[in-house]
Amino acid sequence: MSGQHDELSEQFIAQQRQRLEAMRKQLLGGEESTFADERTQEEEHGDEAHEFEEEAQGSAQKEIDQALHDVNDQRVADIERALQKIDEGTYGFSDESGDPIPKARLEVAPEAIYTVAEQSRRETGK
């Protein structure tokens, strides 16, 4: 384990903390903006007659919004966990196996809490 932390300098970890906090703020702020846009749309057009196509489009958009919301919820949870791991001193190690997560992966996905193989297995359910 210590070999991985030799590679992940305190400066790198501090930069990752800043990136993670900015990502969390962006994701949470973006979601608030989406909800505000939906409220404004409803206030502006709530009393207008709805056509079938508009209702279908609205339903499809709600499904897309819910899927994005679910993805964002998982991403925020991963960001929170990565921040917790920084505090614990375990950032850069998989939650599943304890194996080191390559620095290159953390640079691309600072919220990564699993190795690529573990993440892949989780996503495919295998």
Q: Where are the domains of the chain?
A: 2-43+60-124
Q: Which CATH superfamily is domain 2-43+60-124 in?
A: DksA, coiled-coil domain (1.20.120.910)
Print burial letters for 17-27: b (CB count within 10 Å at least 16), e (below 16).
bebbeebbeeb
Choice among 27-31, 90-94, 104-108 with the minimum mean pLDDT: 27-31
At residue 5, the pLDDT reads: 47
For the ranges 25-34, 59-68, 92-101, the one whose mean pLDDT is highest: 92-101
The CA-based diameter of the chain, rounded to the nearest angstrom, is: 65
Structure tokens at 15: 């930069």
Distances (CA, A) of 102 to 4, 55, 94, 113, 116: 8, 47, 10, 11, 9
User: pLDDT: is 1 or 123 the higher one?
Assistant: 123
Q: What is the mean pLDDT of residues 66-75?
A: 72
Average pLDDT over residues 13-24: 96
